[in-house]
Structure formats: C-alpha cells, structure tokens
Chains A and B, each alone.
Chain A
Amino acid sequence: MTKTITEINEKISKGDVVVVTAEEIINIVEEKGVEGAAQKVDVVTTGTFGPMCSSGTYINIGHAKPRIKLGGGACYLNDVPAYCGFAAADIYLGCTVLPEYDPRNRLHPGEFKYGGGHVIEEFVAGKDIKLTATAYGTDCYPRRKLETWINIKDVNEAVLFNPRNVYQNYNVAVNLSNKLIYTYMGALKPGLGNANYCSAGQLSPLLNDPLYKTTGIGTKIFLGGGGGYVAWQGTQHNPTAKRKDNDTTCVPAGTLAVIGDLKQMKPEWLLGTSFQGYGTTLTVGVGIPIPILNEEIVRYAAVKDKDIYAPIVDYSEAYPQVKPGALGEVSYEQLKSGKIVVQDKEVPTAPLSSYTKAVEIAEILKDWIKQGRFLLTEPVASVPGPESGLTFKLLKERPIE
C-alpha cells in the first residue's frame, strides 16, 4: 500500500482526509495493525513546545528620512542589542541576547528577567518596541542617530528564522556534585537530587520520523501559531547518532532550521523565557505533519514513550568538561512516571517542555488539515540521514601564537 502527497492533498481539499495525532495513532495501530492503520490514516500530526535557544527574527524596518545605515552601526530594541551586520534597514534579533545593564551572574544565580526572547514575544503580541540606533554616516546614508517606536504591523518584513529547533531527543540532566547548579536544563539539586528532561517523546516531530523520510527542506509546518517551513538541517544536526532497533535515536541527534512569517504568528506560541543562572531564550511551538505514504512510515509514527530512550548526563562535571559517557539511559515512560533510578538511588524527574501544549499543537495542526486550510508539501531536498555520514564535531582548538 502506498500513497502520494498529491493524493493526500486531494483528500484534504475535498474534506475527506483522515488525520490523527501521534498519540492517537498508537491505539489505531494496536487495534488495526500497521497495514490497516496505513490504509485508513492519511496524516499524523506531531507537536512540541519547549525552549529552543537558536531562535530569532530578522526585520526590515523600512528606510528613515533622511536615510540611516544600520549595517555596521549599533541598534537596540527595548535596550536589547540587535545584530547590525546586514544592509541599511535589516536587523536580526536573537533570543538569548541581553541588555547591557543586565547583571548576568555577577550575583549568582542571575535572574535574566528580560532578553531577546521577551522582545520577540512582545513584538509578536503587537506591542510597540523602542528602537534606538547609531550609525557612522555615509554620503548616501548621512543620518547618524535614530530613536523611534516600531510595531510589527508597520515593518516591511518580520521573519522568524531559527537556525536550530526541534531537537530529535535530548539529555536527562542530573547533578552528581554536592552543590546546587543552575543550567539550561533548570536548577539541578546536588547528589542526584532531581533529573530534568526536555522532549515531547512519543509526540515529538523527529522521534516520529526518525530517519527523516517525510520531513525535509520545504516541509510545511506549524510554527509559532502560524505556518512555516523547514529551511535547512539545523545546526549540530547529527544523523549518525546512536539508534535503537526502532530507528529512534537514544541520544540528541537531528535538528531543523525553520522559517516563517512572524506577522502570522501568535505570542502564546513564542514565549520569552528565563532560566535562572543561565540566560534568556524563546519557548517555541512547532508541529510537523507526517504523510502516511506507506506502512513503514506509520510504524515509525506509532512509536511509544516506553520505546524511546534518553541518556542520563551529569551536568556538574561531565557536561561542562566534555567528559564522555552517560550514567545510563531511561525511557520516556519511566521519566514521565515521576521517578527514575540512577546509581541505585530513586530520583524525582521533571520535564522542561510542556506535553499538554505539544498535544494542543498537534490538535491545532490536525484541525487546519481537516478544514482544508493546510496542504502538505513534498520536500524539495532531504536533510542528511545516517547514510550521509554527517557527524557532529567538537571545536578543534588551535591556539593563536
């Protein structure tokens, strides 16, 4: 049994497509088997909602009168520095950038109350943002100073472009030391006091398409409450990472770079986020549809939490000092039970990404498809799979003499 994306899109346009979430497909495969499920179901929707630090937006603010060249100058949005390495009116704001006045960790742990991610959330919400800029002045761009309010409704382009999102699996973070530590995986209590994880597990996009058979460059997705696309593989994309027999990776592996029109997005799916002692970031909502083209694809999409494993990593010493070796691995079913056993000790677990929000995203994407508002796309190119040999490398430091 095989289907094509064209056939599925015809069903979507006619209104008789069968679409379910990555949770619902599990029971369908159990009842009808892989063959029956592949015949009946056309699309499976996945979702995830968690902090994704390689996120940001580029904006074209429009030319001022007289003209000012932001490129090569300095520009601040609500006192948060934006990147000015492009042309005159194009800037990029990343989610982890902080205002100069932020004390960071001078009094540890810093609170990191406001950064790029918060500006992005406010910008998407339609709030006025203060823009202050200085420039060195040229004959054609003579102006050296600009102070103005800007609003997402008025700018030419506001494009969310995230170089690395949607991690395929992630670490379970613990702390083996005798001191409380603050990390991007939250506060970790000493002596294996807690274990934090960050994945939607059986609902997660790349854990449902582990070999990137249907997700590729040009795949249309739910992004930040609007539509978006996969633009490229994400940074640190690591398709040759260790896998289980069901082809899911049991360590962090694939990633995606995603892009979309910020003007179509909603602030409830792009939230400014603060990790004490660490920094600011953006919590991003992403949902990816999986066209059920054959039985193999539905088998992957029906993966369960009990069959997906994550490595337990010590964030007090092993992670910062780049020491290899995990303390073991656990399934997402065990993690979601609230307790796991590490080195014979019972350790309470907590997630950092919201499963209920991930379910909501998968349901919203399901509705868009059922209503005929969202057609699937055929990727124009694949992201590298294991056969590419692509492996994520550490920096090879070469001291400058």
Chain B
Amino acid sequence: MISKRIVLKFPHRLADQPIVCNLAKYFDLEFNILKAYIKPKEEGLLILGLSGEEENYNKGINYLKKFGVIVQSLSQGIIRNSTRCTHCGGCITVCPTEALVLDTHTRKVHFYENKCIACELCIPACPLRAMEVHF
C-alpha cells in the first residue's frame, strides 16, 4: 500500500478534461483533495492525497504524466528554510496536523513533511518567514 501527498499542475489545455476521476476508475486508487484552484492563466493546481497498491499507484502517476500533468511530491512544495528558521515556536500552535512540533527537550522545532496538508497557515504565521510555498 502506498499513500502519498502530491502536487499536480495541469496545463491550460487540460483544464476542462476529467482526468483525476480516472485514477479511481482505471487504477483503483483513492484520492483526497487537499487543495484545488485554477491559476490566472487557466492552469490547474491540485494537491491530492493519493493511495492504493504500489503497482497501481505507479501506473496512475504515469497516466497523469502521459497527459502532460506535472507531478511533484508535496514535500518539495512546503519547505522550511533552515537558515531563516530560529526555532522560535511561532508556528506550532497554528499547524492543524502537528506537522510542526517543538521538541520539549532540545527546544527545536521539527517539520514532519509527511503530516503536512499544505493548508499554508504556517506561511504568514512564521515571524521570520521561514516557511515557503514552492508550487
């Protein structure tokens, strides 16, 4: 079983075509939409939690890529700039999934990318603007 969070970028020409529903129909994959919007030039952006059997998952990703959809892992999407982060703790109570946690012993903030759902609440909450969106 594979379960990952991915960022899909749809070029303008695909904006009106049903593609993601086919991941369930053809490849028996489950998807959970975390974020969806159309950008100014009618390009689409979807952040999905996608899960299923490994072989089907890989086939599903190839299907998307065949259409020209750009697939990126979410862990490359929300990034903590470690030179700007001072471990002040300003982000931890804002994060709804405890992806940002303060270690009570080391007093350092840890970012667990696998828990991040790209809600982006940490972006303006970080006083040093150390959290960045890259999608």
Q: Do A and B come from one complex?
A: yes
Interface residues of A (CB under 8 A from B): 49-51, 109, 111, 113, 186-187, 189, 193-194, 196, 271, 273-276, 283, 336-338, 348-357, 359
- Return chain A residues, CB-CB under 8 Å to B88: 50, 283, 351-354, 357
- Return chain A residues, CB-CB under 8 Å to B84: 271
With an 8 A cutoff between CB atoms, is B124 at the interface? yes
The residue of chain B having its C-beta at the shortest distance from the C-beta of A50 within the complex is B88
Do A283 and B124 contact each other (CB < 8 Å), given the known contacts A350-B93, A355-B107?
Answer: no
Q: Which of B76-120 contact A (CB under 8 A)?
A: 84, 86-90, 92-94, 102, 104, 106-108
Known: A187-B94, A276-B124. 19 other contacts (CB 8 A): A49-B86, A109-B124, A186-B93, A186-B94, A186-B125, A196-B93, A271-B86, A271-B128, A274-B124, A274-B129, A276-B125, A338-B104, A348-B92, A351-B89, A354-B87, A356-B87, A356-B107, A357-B87, A357-B88
- Return chain A residues, CB-CB under 8 Å to B108: 356
- State the interface size on chain B (CB cutoff 8 A): 19
The residue of chain B having its C-beta at the shortest distance from the C-beta of A110 within the complex is B124
Q: How far is the CB of A315 from chain B (nearest CB, A)?
A: 14
With the chains together, A189 CA to B128 CA distance in Å? 20
Q: Does the CB pair B129–A113 fall under 8 Å?
A: yes
Q: Does the CB pair A337–B104 fall under 8 Å?
A: yes
For this complex, 29 residue pairs linking A to B, each with C-beta atoms less than 8 Å apart, are A49-B86, A51-B127, A109-B124, A186-B90, A193-B93, A196-B90, A271-B86, A274-B129, A275-B127, A276-B124, A276-B125, A283-B88, A336-B104, A336-B107, A337-B104, A338-B102, A338-B104, A348-B92, A348-B93, A350-B102, A351-B88, A351-B89, A352-B89, A352-B127, A354-B87, A354-B107, A355-B107, A356-B87, A359-B107
With the chains together, A73 CA to B86 CA distance in Å? 38
Q: How far is the CB of A339 from chain B (nearest CB, A)?
A: 10
- Return chain A residues, CB-CB under 8 Å to B92: 348, 350
- Return chain B residues, CB-CB under 8 Å to A348: 92-93
With the chains together, A276 CA to B127 CA distance in Å? 8
Q: How far is the CB of A304 from chain B (nearest CB, A)?
A: 15
The residue of chain A having its C-beta at the shortest distance from the C-beta of B98 within the complex is A348
With the chains together, A194 CA to B90 CA distance in Å? 11
- Return chain B residues, CB-CB under 8 Å to A194: 93
- Return chain A residues, CB-CB under 8 Å to B90: 186, 196, 350, 352
Q: Does the CB pair B86–A189 fall under 8 Å?
A: no
Q: Does the CB pair A357–B125 fall under 8 Å?
A: no
B86's partner among A113, A187, A349, A354 (CB-CB below 8 A) is A354
- Return chain A residues, CB-CB under 8 Å to B93: 186-187, 189, 193-194, 196, 348-350
Report which residue of B93, B104, B125, B129 has the largest number of chain A beta carbons within 10 angstroms of its beta carbon.
B93
Report which residue of A50, A336, A350, A357 has the largest number of chain B beta carbons within 10 angstroms of its beta carbon.
A350
- Return chain B residues, CB-CB under 8 Å to A352: 88-90, 127
With the chains together, A327 CA to B53 CA distance in Å? 53
Q: Does the CB pair A283–B89 fall under 8 Å?
A: no
The residue of chain B having its C-beta at the shortest distance from the C-beta of A339 within the complex is B104
